């Protein structure tokens, strides 16, 4: 489980950073990847990355500003030519369906796979037997969402050694206990699953916060997360400017991480005005939350397991 950055800039692309997009690598967990935002040029960034468009099954859009969605029509239409024929679901704020419908209709684009577009509200937007994704509205100039991805707890491990000590060989009895069932041995002894199963493996959690001012909803989304990806468009000396434009400073992102009790923070969505002083942004954040990292295009970070 890794979050890989395709674009980490704010507003417009620069020579160092493309606009926002990131991939959650779930290939080991469920054989697919999820895309978070899809700014202009994302399909070009994908070509330079280790990830294939055909492996992307879901797209989560935080809000409808161009630097987060202008690459979406291009990615979706060219995916067919790059080996992608499986279904894709796009989740996003109200208006995302009209945006895609209009582009496809005017450009007479054709997709060789099923596309589902889900206009979200706050709450659970997607859930299966392995993951749950929740959305909450944050504080930007237009409707903007943050997402929280929760990996559900894994199966309880079986203490096989304890069974072998009793002379029980691997086989059907192991499987029954693993399923939580009690078993009866030939000598009449009852074995109860609770005595041979460890605690469930804790799932990992990730929060991706879209463009936002510092707000309480971000803390709620990120509460106890293993990884928080949060925008840090401005340096703290430009805090008033950040508030005017609906963005956060690196310091504010660090304060969110600290208050939420996350394990690791990655700051992204950096304004190009700080190209020569990005180390300063990182230092500002690390002073408040030491486990802070600065995102770069074509860089990934693992979602750590809770210690």
Q: Residues 67, 128, 143, 297: which is the catalytic one?
A: 67
Q: In sequence order, what DSSP letters do the residues of 114-161 get, joined into one string? A: -EEEEE--SEEEEE-SSEEEEEEE--SSS--EEEEEEEPP-PPPB-HH
CA separation for the pair 132, 154 (Å, rounded)? 13
> Which residues neighbour 68 within 8 Å (Cβ) at sequence distance 6 or greater?
19, 20, 37, 38, 39, 61, 62, 210, 211
CA separation for the pair 179, 130 (Å, rounded)? 17
- Token readout for 112 is 């060789």
Strands (E), 20-72: 21-26, 32-38, 56-60
Q: Which residues pair with 58 in a beta bridge?
A: 34, 89
- Token readout for 155 is 């199966």
Which residue, among 62, 132, 120, 52, has the nearest Cα to 86 in the 3D structure? 52
Cβ distance 149 to 130 under 8 Å?
Answer: no
Binding residues for Zn(2+): 63, 65, 67-68, 140, 211, 269
- Active-site residue flag, 226: no
Residue with tokens 């009866």: 184
User: Catalytic amino acids?
Assistant: 67
């Amino acid at each position: 489980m890794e979050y890989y950055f395709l674009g980490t800039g704010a507003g417009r692309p620069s020579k160092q950073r493309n606009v926002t997009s990131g991939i959650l690598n779930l290939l080991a967990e469920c054989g697919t990847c999820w895309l978070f935002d899809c700014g202009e040029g994302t399909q070009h960034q994908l070509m330079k990355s280790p990830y294939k468009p055909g492996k992307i099954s879901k797209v989560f859009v935080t809000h409808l500003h161009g630097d987060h969605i202008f690459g979406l029509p291009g990615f979706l239409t060219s995916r067919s030519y790059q080996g992608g024929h499986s279904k894709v679901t796009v989740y996003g704020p109200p208006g995302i369906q009209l945006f895609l419908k209009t582009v496809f209709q005017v450009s007479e684009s054709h997709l060789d796979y099923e596309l589902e577009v889900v206009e979200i509200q706050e709450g659970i937007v997607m859930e299966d037997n392995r993951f749950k994704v929740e959305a909450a509205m944050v504080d930007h100039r237009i409707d903007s969402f943050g997402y929280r991805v929760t990996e559900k707890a894994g199966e309880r491990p079986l203490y096989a050694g304890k069974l072998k000590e009793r002379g029980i060989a691997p086989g059907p009895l192991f499987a029954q206990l693993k399923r939580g069932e009690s078993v009866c041995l030939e000598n009449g002894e009852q074995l109860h699953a609770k005595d041979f199963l460890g605690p469930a493996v804790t799932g990992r959690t990730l929060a991706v916060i879209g463009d936002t001012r510092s707000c309480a909803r971000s803390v709620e989304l990120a509460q106890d997360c293993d990884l928080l990806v949060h925008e840090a468009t401005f340096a703290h000396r430009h805090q008033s400017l950040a508030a005017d434009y609906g963005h956060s400073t690196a310091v504010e992102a660090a304060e969110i991480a600290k208050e939420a009790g996350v394990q690791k923070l990655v700051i992204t969505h950096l304004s190009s005005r700080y190209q020569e002083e990005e180390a300063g942004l990182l230092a500002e954040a690390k002073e408040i939350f030491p486990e802070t990292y600065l995102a770069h295009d074509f860089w990934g970070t693992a979602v750590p397991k809770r210690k």
